[in-house]
Amino acid sequence: MRRRTYLRGVASAIAVGTAGCMGMDDAPEPSTPTAGNGAGPTETAGPQTVVVETVVEGLEVPWGAAYRDETLHVTERPGRVVRVSGGVETVADFTESTKTGGEGGLLGLAFHPDNPDTAFTYQTYDSDGGRRNRIVRHDVADGWSREVVLDGIPGASIHDGGRLFVHDESLFATTGDASRSDDAQDPQLLNGKVLRLTFDGNPHPDNPFGNAVFTYGHRNPEGLAARNGTLYAIEHGPDSDDEINRLEPGANYGWPDVTGPSDAEEFTDPVTTYEEIIAPGGGAFYDGPIERWQGDLFVGTLAGTHLRRVRLRNGAATEDEPLYAGEFGRLRTTFVGPEGHLHVTTSNRDGRGSPESGDDRILQFRPA
């Protein structure tokens, strides 16, 4: 009911920061994406008031988000790349080659940090051997022409991973176990891993196993974020123990042998876990104008239907709280715009949510 009230344009005020330390694809027909400027709920963050605004609405399961020359581009899971600048324009359509259903589709998006005419996407597709995932490099200036740079990542109706992230002059990608949990423990296989590539699409020469694998033992990581040179992965657990992991090259994060922390020396413990499933999506560190949030990790949650704020200090979560619980439905990808404002995508049309008029949206959080 709280979310339905918001989507009809009635603003509410919620105080936060004072409690404690803090059928897959039966979505409705797509509506026409439009730019939005309506303000939603407000909250207080210390002495500042935070306003939530709709940047754009009418998207169909937005997944990856990245900026090219300060212009936002977003993937929609059925197979489109859209540009958001005043309005919404489809700049590339790969729906015919994209396999949807379940959790696959056109997922991650990243641009080359030094060449904005080069983009990368993570795509689920059908092959003679079944569902697969691949990483594709695009020449944006040539109509988003395509070159597959890493193929054959196992896929399934669930656990396809899909996040792309540029860090430390490398392209990182998350892969799910594709419903083959034991594969996550084999560093010679590509599923259930975090991968590291050069921008030419080759395995990074400093990788620990002589292939594209950077870390292993993952179930279904859908988020990557970096702070002070350290890379973190955000991962779905089974029926408990969603995780935030600090990544170290060659480290084994335990799946399927363990979830959460363990006493086994061969496994690397997570920074924090969530016993009650929240289904975390993408994450982003914030350094914007809201002082209380500076330096914190923000994670969209799907099952949790809230925005998670996590303060990480000295390898531990010192504050951890849900914000806007139930206000917007399922939240997937968080990112920070050129002006420093936090953004989040909703994912209510992914077959598991309850879409309202206007879904899916991109929301912006800024000081009043």
Catalytic sites, residue numbers: 159
Residues near 339 by beta carbon (within 8 Å), at least 6 away in sequence: 288
C-alpha to C-alpha distance for 309 and 296, rounded to whole angstroms: 7
Q: Max CA-CA distance within the chain?
A: 58
Helix (H, G, I), strand (E, B) or coil at 183: helix
C-alpha to C-alpha distance for 289 and 170, rounded to whole angstroms: 29
- How do beta strands 13-15 and 39-45 pair? parallel
Phi and psi (nearest 5°) for 148?
Answer: -75, 125
Q: Omega before 160 cis (within 30°)?
A: no
State the CB neighbour count (10 A cutoff) for residue 297: 25
Q: Is 244 exposed, middle or buried (0-12, 13-18, 19+ CB in 10 A)?
A: buried
C-alpha to C-alpha distance for 16 and 21, rounded to whole angstroms: 11
CA distances to 136, 221, 248, 290, 320 from 188, rounded to whole Å, are 21, 18, 17, 44, 35
Overall residue count recorded for the chain in this entry: 368
List the one residue out of 175, 190, 225, 199 whose CA is nearest residue 333.
Answer: 225
- How do beta strands 362-367 and 106-111 pair? unpaired
